[in-house]
Protein backbone atom coordinates (compact mmCIF):
# COMPACT_ATOMS: atom_id res chain seq x y z
CA UNK A 1 0.00 0.00 0.00
CA UNK A 2 2.80 2.36 0.80
CA UNK A 3 4.22 2.04 -2.72
CA UNK A 4 0.92 2.93 -4.30
CA UNK A 5 0.71 6.04 -2.20
CA UNK A 6 4.19 7.08 -3.34
CA UNK A 7 5.91 6.64 0.01
CA UNK A 8 9.51 5.45 0.13
CA UNK A 9 9.83 1.84 1.19
CA UNK A 10 13.11 0.48 2.50
CA UNK A 11 14.17 -2.82 1.00
CA UNK A 12 17.01 -4.55 2.79
CA UNK A 13 18.41 -7.87 1.65
CA UNK A 14 18.50 -10.51 4.31
CA UNK A 15 21.98 -11.90 4.81
CA UNK A 16 22.43 -15.17 6.63
CA UNK A 17 25.40 -15.13 8.93
CA UNK A 18 26.11 -18.88 9.03
CA UNK A 19 27.83 -20.91 6.34
CA UNK A 20 26.90 -24.36 5.21
CA UNK A 21 29.93 -26.61 5.55
CA UNK A 22 28.52 -29.11 3.03
CA UNK A 23 29.09 -26.57 0.26
CA UNK A 24 32.73 -25.81 0.97
CA UNK A 25 35.35 -26.69 -1.66
CA UNK A 26 37.12 -29.45 0.25
CA UNK A 27 33.93 -31.51 0.52
CA UNK A 28 33.29 -31.19 -3.21
CA UNK A 29 36.81 -32.38 -3.93
CA UNK A 30 36.43 -35.32 -1.54
CA UNK A 31 33.11 -36.35 -3.13
CA UNK A 32 34.56 -36.05 -6.66
CA UNK A 33 37.47 -38.26 -5.61
CA UNK A 34 35.06 -40.87 -4.25
CA UNK A 35 33.11 -40.78 -7.51
CA UNK A 36 36.28 -41.38 -9.52
CA UNK A 37 37.25 -44.30 -7.29
CA UNK A 38 33.84 -45.95 -7.67
CA UNK A 39 33.65 -45.74 -11.46
CA UNK A 40 33.22 -49.06 -13.19
CA UNK A 41 35.96 -49.93 -15.66
CA UNK A 42 34.75 -50.26 -19.25
CA UNK A 43 34.56 -53.82 -20.56
CA UNK A 44 37.72 -55.03 -22.29
CA UNK A 45 37.97 -54.63 -26.05
CA UNK A 46 38.92 -57.44 -28.38
CA UNK A 47 42.64 -58.10 -28.76
CA UNK A 48 44.35 -56.52 -31.80
CA UNK A 49 45.78 -59.99 -32.54
CA UNK A 50 42.26 -61.36 -32.96
CA UNK A 51 41.31 -58.46 -35.25
CA UNK A 52 44.33 -59.05 -37.47
CA UNK A 53 43.66 -62.80 -37.53
CA UNK A 54 40.06 -62.22 -38.64
CA UNK A 55 41.20 -59.84 -41.37
CA UNK A 56 43.99 -62.06 -42.75
CA UNK A 57 41.77 -65.16 -42.69
CA UNK A 58 38.95 -63.29 -44.43
CA UNK A 59 41.30 -62.03 -47.13
CA UNK A 60 42.75 -65.53 -47.61
CA UNK A 61 39.21 -66.75 -48.35
CA UNK A 62 38.72 -63.76 -50.68
CA UNK A 63 35.71 -62.49 -48.73
CA UNK A 64 34.77 -58.85 -48.23
CA UNK A 65 33.67 -57.62 -44.82
CA UNK A 66 30.13 -57.42 -46.19
CA UNK A 67 30.23 -61.04 -47.45
CA UNK A 68 31.59 -62.40 -44.17
CA UNK A 69 29.09 -60.35 -42.16
CA UNK A 70 26.26 -61.84 -44.23
CA UNK A 71 27.57 -65.38 -43.58
CA UNK A 72 27.50 -64.84 -39.79
CA UNK A 73 24.21 -62.86 -39.86
CA UNK A 74 25.74 -59.67 -38.48
CA UNK A 75 26.04 -56.11 -39.76
CA UNK A 76 29.24 -55.20 -41.65
CA UNK A 77 29.89 -52.52 -39.00
CA UNK A 78 30.12 -55.27 -36.32
CA UNK A 79 32.77 -57.07 -38.35
CA UNK A 80 34.60 -53.79 -38.93
CA UNK A 81 34.67 -53.17 -35.15
CA UNK A 82 36.11 -56.66 -34.58
CA UNK A 83 38.84 -56.18 -37.18
CA UNK A 84 39.78 -52.73 -35.87
CA UNK A 85 39.85 -53.90 -32.23
CA UNK A 86 36.99 -51.66 -31.07
CA UNK A 87 34.46 -54.42 -30.37
CA UNK A 88 33.61 -55.93 -27.01
CA UNK A 89 34.13 -59.68 -27.53
CA UNK A 90 30.97 -61.77 -27.91
CA UNK A 91 31.54 -65.55 -27.69
CA UNK A 92 28.66 -66.26 -30.10
CA UNK A 93 30.05 -63.98 -32.82
CA UNK A 94 33.57 -65.34 -32.28
CA UNK A 95 32.21 -68.88 -32.59
CA UNK A 96 30.50 -68.06 -35.90
CA UNK A 97 33.69 -66.44 -37.21
CA UNK A 98 35.75 -69.47 -36.18
CA UNK A 99 33.41 -71.81 -38.09
CA UNK A 100 33.46 -69.72 -41.29
CA UNK A 101 37.15 -68.75 -41.24
CA UNK A 102 38.32 -72.14 -39.88
CA UNK A 103 40.78 -70.42 -37.56
CA UNK A 104 40.97 -70.22 -33.75
CA UNK A 105 40.03 -66.81 -32.34
CA UNK A 106 39.67 -67.61 -28.63
CA UNK A 107 42.01 -69.04 -26.03
CA UNK A 108 45.78 -69.36 -26.16
CA UNK A 109 46.28 -70.52 -29.77
CA UNK A 110 44.78 -67.56 -31.63
CA UNK A 111 45.42 -67.85 -35.36
CA UNK A 112 45.82 -71.64 -35.40
CA UNK A 113 44.02 -73.36 -38.26
CA UNK A 114 41.06 -75.47 -37.19
CA UNK A 115 40.59 -78.97 -38.52
CA UNK A 116 37.51 -79.61 -40.62
CA UNK A 117 34.90 -82.07 -39.38
CA UNK A 118 36.19 -85.64 -39.33
CA UNK A 119 34.57 -87.94 -41.88
CA UNK A 120 33.91 -91.53 -40.88
CA dist 65 and 50 (Å) reads: 15
The domains located in the chain, with CATH, are 48-101 (1.10.260.40)
User: What's the gap between Cα 40 and its chain centre?
Assistant: 11
Per residue in 12-71, pLDDT (tens digit) is 666 655 555 555 556 777 777 766 666 677 778 888 888 899 999 999 999 999 999 999
Query: For the purposes of burial, counting CB atoms within 10 Å of the CB of 53, is it exposed (0-12), middle (13-18) or buried (19 or more)?
Result: buried
Q: What is the pTM of this model?
A: 0.60
Amino acid sequence: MARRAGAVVATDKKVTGGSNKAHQGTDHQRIAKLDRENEVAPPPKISPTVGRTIQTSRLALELSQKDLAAKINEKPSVLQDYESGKAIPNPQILGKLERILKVKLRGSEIGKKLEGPKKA
